[in-house]
């Protein structure tokens, strides 16, 4: 797996330095979510988290200036060619709240006595609420760690990607905050996340370490590794249909 990752990164380097006159390339967004982000995470799992250093040949090769330059070149080429990827349907706030309320009803009306199904509904409800309130992509949400979540005093909400001893905007990920929604508690992202964590803890799952969002098997045991953003998008479409939400658009919905 490491060899394949190195081969892909090297290929990106070569495309940057020696671009061909006629070639098919991935769209900028697909390149980021399908190649660059997974490679960065793969190297981080191997303990290589620092940015790539050309002079010393050390660090995360997927987090290098050349990779960023190549990604930017693809964006510029798309703009010049007036090519845009098929955009996902926009879920407006009232649609979003209807989805969250509909999923809340699923707790009772669906034949879901199995704790795995109940856990999944609460998990995706927390993911969808967080994505809407924070505007974070599925890839970013899948990387959130429980140990880097800080609860603010006086019911001020939650901070994510927080590391003690680090200043804001330092490190790999930027911290962001979710404030409580006192006007509509049923759709409050903080309350929904608290319910998800509490339900997982009651099931005997470890909700004190590892990834914040994870899958479980039929034996209610955690599956190692982060969640896939494609899986999140698939389940978003699934729950939109289950709750009967009509977006009146034929475009795909995605995280």
The answer as to whether 247 is a domain residue is no
β-pairing, 176-178 with 150-151? unpaired
Same domain, 75 and 39: yes
pLDDT tens digits, 20-62: 555 566 777 777 777 888 888 788 888 888 888 888 888 888 8
Tell me which of 81, 107, 133 is where a domain ends.
81
176-178 and 158-160 as β-strands: parallel, antiparallel, unpaired? antiparallel
Q: Report the C-alpha dihedral over residues 34, 243, 176, 52, rounded to 10 degrees.
A: -10
Backbone angles phi, psi at 252, to 5 degrees: -70, 150
pLDDT digits (tens, 9 = 90+) for 84-130: 655 556 677 888 899 999 998 887 776 556 788 899 999 999 999 99
Chain centroid, CA 236 distance in Å: 13
Of the candidates 52, 81, 110, which is a domain's last residue? 81
Provide the number of structural domains found in the chain: 2
Per-residue pLDDT reduced to its tens digit, 194-234: 999 999 999 999 999 999 999 999 899 999 888 988 899 88
Residue 21 shares a structural domain with residue 136: no
Write out the residue range of the structural domain in which residue 36 sits.
Answer: 2-81
Indicate whether 8 and 128 sit together in one domain: no
Judgement on whether residues 136 and 217 belong to the same structural domain of the protein: yes
Q: Is residue 255 part of a domain?
A: no
Q: Please check whether residues 101 and 66 belong to one and the same domain.
A: no
Determine, yes or no, domain membership for 119.
Answer: yes
Tell me if 174 is assigned to some domain. Answer: yes
Query: Do 233 and 110 belong to one domain?
Result: yes
116 and 228, same domain (yes or no) = yes
Residue 168 shares a structural domain with residue 227? yes
User: What's the pLDDT band for 250 if we cut at 50, 70, 90?
Assistant: very low
> If you average pLDDT over residues 77-86, what whole number do you get?
70
| Residue 30 belongs to some domain of the structure | yes
């Amino acid at each position: 797996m490491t060899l394949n990752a190195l081969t892909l990164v090297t290929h990106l380097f070569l495309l940057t330095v020696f671009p061909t006159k006629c070639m098919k390339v991935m769209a900028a967004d697909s390149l980021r979510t399908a190649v660059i982000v997974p490679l960065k995470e793969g190297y981080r799992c191997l303990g290589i988290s620092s940015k790539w250093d050309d002079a010393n040949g050390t660090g995360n090769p997927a987090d290098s200036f050349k990779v960023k330059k190549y990604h930017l070149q693809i964006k510029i080429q798309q703009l010049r060619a007036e090519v845009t990827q098929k955009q996902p349907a926009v879920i407006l706030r009232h649609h979003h709240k209807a989805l969250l309320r509909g999923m809340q009803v699923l707790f009772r009306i669906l034949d879901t006595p199995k704790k795995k199904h109940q856990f999944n509904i609460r998990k995706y409800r927390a993911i969808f609420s967080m994505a809407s309130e924070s505007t974070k992509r599925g890839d970013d949400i899948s990387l959130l760690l429980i140990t880097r979540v800080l609860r603010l005093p006086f019911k001020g909400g939650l901070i994510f990607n927080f590391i003690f001893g680090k200043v804001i905007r330092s490190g790999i990920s930027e911290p962001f905050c979710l404030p409580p929604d006192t006007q509509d508690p049923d759709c409050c992202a903080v309350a929904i996340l608290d319910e998800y964590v509490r339900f997982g803890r009651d099931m005997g799952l470890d909700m004190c370490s590892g990834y914040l969002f994870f899958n479980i098997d039929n034996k209610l045991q955690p599956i190692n590794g982060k969640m896939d953003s494609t899986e999140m998008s698939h389940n978003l479409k699934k729950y939109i249909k289950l709750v009967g939400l009509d977006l009146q658009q034929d475009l795909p919905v995605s995280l």
